[in-house]
Amino acid sequence: MRHRVAGRRLSRTKEHRLAMRRNLVASLFQHETISTTIEKAKEVKPFAEKLITLAKKGTLPARRQAIALLGNRDIIDYEDGEAVRKGTVVGKLFSELGPRYLDRPGGYTRIIRLSLRRLGDNGQLVLLQLIGADESLTKKSKKRSRKKTKKAVEVKEIAEDQVATEVEDVAREEEAEIQNDKEQTSQGQ
């Protein structure tokens, strides 16, 4: 009998299951959408939501707990054939994802079934995604007052300020490029 036995074994040892769960969640936070099997997605979803709830707190103990649960893998992009470090998964979790879901009481991920099946074993494939920032809650239940911690509000304001300054910098660079192009075309004529 398997009374009160939680979780799936997924034909793996305990250490392999733990490593797989950490890797899937780190990839989910890095790419914000991953393709996997339905069983793995159902197993990983509660762990990802627990980490996002930790990130909403935004405190140092919460960050340390997230590092202990998830690890702190680097985010690496390849530009011009060279590997460039873009930050860490926990850094992205606490700076981008936590503030994104401050006003959302839960349900940060979704599972979308695909019509594709895996070629080797015909396993059902799904997309595991983070809910976008622009998507609002479809279900609105009783109005509850949720207290936001001062730290969480400050983190959200800082993130919004950083995004605004980045947008302004990009706009300035584009204007400078347009001016340079105009000057080059006028000098060429």
| Same domain? 55 vs 104 | yes
Residue 76 phi, psi (nearest 5): -120, 130
Q: What is the pLDDT of residue 133?
A: 54
In angstroms, the CA 58 to CA 47 distance is 17
| Same domain? 52 vs 123 | yes
- The number of folded domains in the chain is 2
As a residue count, the chain comes to 189
Residue 47 contacts by C-beta under 8 Å, 6 or more apart in sequence? 21, 25, 69
| Same domain? 93 vs 36 | yes
Q: What is the pLDDT of residue 144?
A: 55
Residue numbers of the domain that contains 189: 145-189
For residue 36, what is the domain's CATH number? 3.90.1030.10
Q: What is the pLDDT of residue 12?
A: 95
- Strands in the chain per DSSP E: 33-37, 74-79, 82-88, 109-117, 124-130
Determine the 3-state secondary structure of 71 from DSSP: coil
Closest C-alpha to 154, from 70, 57, 18: 57
3 assigned to some structural domain:
no
Q: What is the pLDDT of residue 180?
A: 78
| Same domain? 70 vs 121 | yes
Per-residue pLDDT for the chain (189 aa), expressed as one digit of tens each?
989 998 999 999 999 999 999 999 999 999 999 999 999 999 999 999 999 999 999 999 999 999 999 999 999 999 999 999 999 999 999 999 999 999 999 999 999 999 999 999 999 999 999 998 556 545 445 555 566 566 667 777 777 777 777 777 777 877 787 887 777 777 766
| Same domain? 150 vs 64 | no
140 assigned to some structural domain:
no
25 assigned to some structural domain:
yes
Domain boundary residue among 93, 113, 133?
133
